[in-house]
């Protein structure tokens, strides 16, 4: 895995954890990284306040940047949150045989 690829994943994890620390009032947060046959699944989750993903937000660019970084590594970015239900940031990175990740 190239340094650029790792850096983008690292940036996503940092922003998700930073959001969770600043906005969620969570008592529990976790990172789960799992390897499937043809994908890496990454979840950054918390059991905090959650928020509406439908309502327009005027806040920063963190969520948008995470989605953009995921796209740069051909990953699928999914944000799951709702008021009172915590938040999960999910990144699914498809693995292709013989493909060099950079
Ligand atoms: N883990 C989370 N728990 C609760 N609210 C969140 C979480 N992550 C994001 N949010 C909400 O989404 C908004 C937008 O996040 P973001 O785009 O990263 O901007 P910023 O962090 O600068 O406010 C936050 O202001 C917050 O209201
Ligand atoms: Mg943020």
Its pTM stands at: 0.92
| Residue 6: both structure tokens together | 């790792």
CB count, 10 Å around CB of 81? 20
16 lines ligand 1 (CB under 6 A): no
86 lines ligand 1 (CB under 6 A): no
Q: How far is the first Cα of the chain from the last one, in angstroms, to the nearest whole number?
A: 7
For ligand 1, atom 13: residue with the closest CA: 59
**52 in Cβ contact with 71 (< 8 Å):** no
Among residues 102, 92, 79, which one has the least CA distance to residue 37? 92
d(CA 57, CA 52): 9
Check residue 43 and report its DSSP letter: E
Q: Give, for all 102 residues of the chain, the pLDDT tens digit.
A: 678 888 999 999 999 999 999 999 999 999 999 999 999 999 999 999 999 998 777 678 999 999 999 999 999 999 999 999 999 999 999 988 776 666
57 lines ligand 1 (CB under 6 A): yes
3-94 CATH pick, 3.90.180.10, 3.30.2020.30, 3.30.565.10, 3.30.1130.10: 3.30.565.10
For ligand 1, atom 6: residue with the closest CA: 23
């Amino acid at each position: 895995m190239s340094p650029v690829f790792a850096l983008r994943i690292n940036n996503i994890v940092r922003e998700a954890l930073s959001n969770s620390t600043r906005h969620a009032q969570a008592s529990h947060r976790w990172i789960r990284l799992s390897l499937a046959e043809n994908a890496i699944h990454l979840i950054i989750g918390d059991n905090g306040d959650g928020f509406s993903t439908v309502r327009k937000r005027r806040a920063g660019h963190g969520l948008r940047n995470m989605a953009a970084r995921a796209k740069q590594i051909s990953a699928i970015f999914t944000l799951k949150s709702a008021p009172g239900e915590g938040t999960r940031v999910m990144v699914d990175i498809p693995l292709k045989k013989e493909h060099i990740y950079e």
